[in-house]
Chains A and B, each alone.
Chain A
Amino acid sequence: MAAKRNLDRWAPWIFLVVLLLVWEFGVRLFRIDEFVLPTASASFRALYDNFGPILMNTWPTFWTTMVGFGIGIVVGVLIGVLIGSSRLMYNGLYPLLVAFNAIPKAAFVPILVVWFGIGVVPATLTAFLICFFPITVNVATGLATIEPELEDVLRALGASRADVLIKVGLPRSIPYFFASLKVAITLAFVGSVVSELTAANEGIGQLMLAASSTMRVPLMFAGLIVISIMAMVMYVAFAALERRMTGWAHRGMNMPG
């Protein structure tokens, strides 16, 4: 039993090590050129060698992502509450949101550049645009799936719609909200980096673009590693926050994943 639980805990690390080994020795075995696919060790070496410039570019990426994510939370929750608590809003807005979500967010970058110029604004906004949707959907789901009988109990007490929202709807949607944050934060990184690739002066995206123009492929992979580490750390942080805030949900009600 205990051994199995230990295995569960270590599984991500074991898989990571296996992946790195396959990467390293796969590249060596097939003698793949460094300009095509560098080895894991070469990528980490590039990370180490360029630590200064990478760090300088990591900070802006992190920062713009977090601001975009913050806006995404505010807007996502607001729209989620709106469509989750009103059938009219749900019917009217939901299809539009789905349509909007289907647009590749990279396609917004040139427009944002026209509006705001090159810099941190397009990256922030792209992060926001890509990450608010899952938050909206989850919050709305949490609100819209209140047991009808429970709603009857409350309405027969004379509860207003605001009462139902405050006493039941919002607390009920909190686990859904936190579940969506984990997804949203990783998407936000996608948004900001995609935008930086074309419309920024700094950031990991720019660093990778510069590395590409000089064919420094290991450095590009170092950039990818940094992005995934950042996203992973934030994911774990929000997963931990979720567990803290919504312990009751894991036993008390069925939860989305």
Chain B
Amino acid sequence: MSHPAFVAFDRVSLAYDETSGYAVEDITLSIGSGEFIAIVGPSGCGKSTFMKLCTGLKAPTQGTVRVDGKGVAGPLKIVGMAFQAPNLLPWRTTLDNVLLPLEIVQPYRASFKHKHDEYVARARKLLETVGLEGSEGKFPWQLSGGMQQRASICRALIHEPQLLMLDEPFGALDAFTREELWLVLRDLWQERRFTVVLVTHDLREAVFLADTVYCMSRRPGKIVARRAIDLPRPRDLEVTYSEHFIGIVHELRAHIGRVRKG
């Protein structure tokens, strides 16, 4: 697929401190606007570091990161993020947790008081699309892990970010819930077409959801393979049993295997 580049990494390296060497090295890639990419790689290879570079939470030691045509200096302010741990605030109800970004991001922040009803309606609608209707008033500890993760994804999307960063968001869930949430994410993305960076350990997840999958090497993390996923959309879970799908997964698996030995 050809997209205008939304995120562009140009020969980016990052060292956390002087002594330990690069955590990620010489990363060049571009993510199109509305593209869904996935990053896979062994543990500790720098996937989360890539996320921090992408969102401006860390500045590169070398190279440049551009988002939406502008060089990144400091946190981006428009990004939605979700992690493996849902990190909901236990003193807020599900609804209020989802509303949190609107209390922070402009222009919502300025109008949060007098457009409160509108925003609540919006949050309810979003919660409904992920199957959380009826849980708006519950506190996070009253939700199951999967429900918390749904709420966490809603929180990442409520302010309609152009860029969604997901760091192993389904890693802690059982296989069924995970596949259910793939569909939720697929539908949300299909409808809104934000740009997504998904970090995952699950190759099937990467292939099912993404337009492009990148494989990273062991530390220092480099991009060792880029695989465009040419499965037609919209994709159904059925596709995960097709030969073509399994072929791609095997191909990626081979890359990872090489990386781990090498």
Q: Which residue numbers of A lie inside 8 Å of B, CB to CB? A: 147, 149-150, 152-159, 163, 167-168, 171-172, 174, 248-249, 251-253
A157 and B105: CB pair below 8 A?
A: yes
Using Cβ atoms and an 8 Å threshold, which residues of chain A touch B103? 167
A156-B106 Cα distance, complex, nearest whole Å: 13
Residue of B55, B56, B87, B104 touching A159 (CB-CB under 8 A): B104
Using Cβ atoms and an 8 Å threshold, which residues of chain B touch A174? 91
B57 and A149: CB pair below 8 A?
A: no
Using Cβ atoms and an 8 Å threshold, which residues of chain A touch B218? none
Per-position 1/0 for B143-165, Cβ under 8 A of A = 00000000000011001000001
B83 and A149: CB pair below 8 A?
A: yes
**Min C-beta distance of B121 to chain A, whole Å:** 21
Closest chain A residue, CB of each to CB of B165: A156
A251 and B141: CB pair below 8 A?
A: yes
A153 and B81: CB pair below 8 A?
A: yes
Contacts known (A156-B55, A158-B75); A248 close to B87, Cβ less than 8 A: no
Using Cβ atoms and an 8 Å threshold, which residues of chain B touch A159? 104
Q: Which residue numbers of B lie inside 8 Å of A, CB to CB? A: 52, 55-57, 75-83, 85, 87, 89-91, 100-101, 103-106, 139-141, 155-156, 159, 165, 167
A153-B169 Cα distance, complex, nearest whole Å: 13
User: Which of B81, B82, B106 gathers the greatest number of chain A CB atoms within 10 Å?
Assistant: B81
**Min C-beta distance of A143 to chain B, whole Å:** 14
A149-B166 Cα distance, complex, nearest whole Å: 12
A157 and B101: CB pair below 8 A?
A: yes
**Min C-beta distance of A159 to chain B, whole Å:** 5
A112-B242 Cα distance, complex, nearest whole Å: 83
Closest chain B residue, CB of each to CB of A156: B79
Using Cβ atoms and an 8 Å threshold, which residues of chain A touch B52? 152
**Min C-beta distance of B76 to chain A, whole Å:** 6
Using Cβ atoms and an 8 Å threshold, which residues of chain B touch A153? 81-83, 87, 155-156
Using Cβ atoms and an 8 Å threshold, which residues of chain A touch B77? 156-158
A172-B52 Cα distance, complex, nearest whole Å: 25
A168 and B90: CB pair below 8 A?
A: no
A80-B178 Cα distance, complex, nearest whole Å: 41
**Min C-beta distance of A223 to chain B, whole Å:** 42
Using Cβ atoms and an 8 Å threshold, which residues of chain A touch B100? 167
A156 and B57: CB pair below 8 A?
A: yes
Closest chain A residue, CB of each to CB of B52: A152
A158-B81 Cα distance, complex, nearest whole Å: 12
Contacts known (A154-B104, A158-B104); A249 close to B75, Cβ less than 8 A: no
**Min C-beta distance of B236 to chain A, whole Å:** 31
Known contacts A153-B81, A157-B77, A158-B105; 8 additional CB pairs below 8 A are A147-B85, A154-B104, A156-B80, A157-B101, A167-B100, A171-B89, A248-B90, A249-B91
A251-B90 Cα distance, complex, nearest whole Å: 8
Closest chain A residue, CB of each to CB of B163: A156
A174-B89 Cα distance, complex, nearest whole Å: 13
**Min C-beta distance of B75 to chain A, whole Å:** 5
User: Which of A155, A156, A158, A168 gathers the greatest number of chain B CB atoms within 10 Å?
Assistant: A156
**Min C-beta distance of A244 to chain B, whole Å:** 13
**Min C-beta distance of B16 to chain A, whole Å:** 13
**Min C-beta distance of B158 to chain A, whole Å:** 10
B76 and A156: CB pair below 8 A?
A: yes
A129-B261 Cα distance, complex, nearest whole Å: 61
Using Cβ atoms and an 8 Å threshold, which residues of chain A touch B155? 153
**Min C-beta distance of A50 to chain B, whole Å:** 48
Using Cβ atoms and an 8 Å threshold, which residues of chain A touch B101? 157
**Min C-beta distance of B241 to chain A, whole Å:** 34
Which 8 residue pairs across A and B have the least CB separation, nearest first?
A252-B90, A158-B77, A156-B79, A150-B87, A251-B141, A252-B141, A155-B75, A149-B83
User: Which of A153, A155, A251, A253 gathers the greatest number of chain B CB atoms within 10 Å?
Assistant: A153
Using Cβ atoms and an 8 Å threshold, which residues of chain A touch B90? 248-249, 251-253
B91 and A157: CB pair below 8 A?
A: no
A168 and B89: CB pair below 8 A?
A: yes
B91 and A167: CB pair below 8 A?
A: no
